[in-house]
Amino acid sequence: MTTPIQTFAAYVASLGRLTLHVDPTLETPETEQIRAAAEGLADLAEISRQSPAAWALARPTDAPVLAQDLSLMTAARTRFTGRNGRTAPCDLAVLSGAHVVIAVAARGLDSTGSKLTDAVCEVEEMADVRLPTQFIMVVIDGIGSFGRPQERLIR
C-alpha cells in the first residue's frame, strides 16, 4: 500500500520528468522499431490509397512512420493561409502540395506565463482562420510548470 500524499506541495515535489532527453542519433529500441516499420512499408506489394491505410490498421504503433516514409512535406515555425486569405502561426505544418492540411501548435509549460497566454491566443487564431479542410492540433508538455510554483494559478 502506498503512503498518501498529505499536501499539494508534497504532490508537486513528487513529480518528475516523464522521459529523459535522448540523443536522436543513438540506436535504441525505438529507432529499430522505426527501421522495421519503414521496411514493412517498403515491402507493400501494391501502393494504392487502401494499402497504406491497411498497413496502418495492422500496425497501429508504427503508423507515425507512415508520414515520414511517404515523404509528406512539413514546415516548422511558419504561417498557414486559411479562410478569406487570412494567416495564422503554427509550429509545424503538414502540407499536401502547397496547401497546409494539418497545423500544429506545440508548447512546453516550462515557458513563462506570458508565453503561455500568447500560446492560447495563437491556438484561438489558428482555429478561427482554418479552413474546413484543415486540421488544428495542439501538443502541450505540462510538467515544466511544476518547477515554477510562483507562476501557477492553483496553489
Q: Please say if the pLDDT value at position 155 is more than 50.
A: no
Which residue, 135, 109, 103, is CA-closest to 122? 103
Whether residues 64 and 81 fall in one domain: no
Whether residues 2 and 57 fall in one domain: yes
Cα dihedral 16, 90, 115, 64, rounded to 10, equals: 0
Whether residues 147 and 118 fall in one domain: yes
pLDDT, one tens digit per residue, over 50-89 is 777 788 788 877 776 666 656 667 888 899 999 999 999 9
Last residue of a domain, one of 22, 50, 71: 71
Q: Please say if the pLDDT value at position 17 is more than 60.
A: yes
Residue ranges of the alpha helices (H) in the chain? 8-13, 29-42, 50-58, 63-69, 113-129
- What total of structural domains would you count in the chain? 2
pLDDT score at 23: 65
**For the whole prediction, is pTM greater than 0.85?**
no
Last residue of a domain, one of 71, 96, 124: 71
Q: How far is CA 20 from CA 17, 35, 151, in A?
A: 7, 22, 24
Whether residues 66 and 77 fall in one domain: no
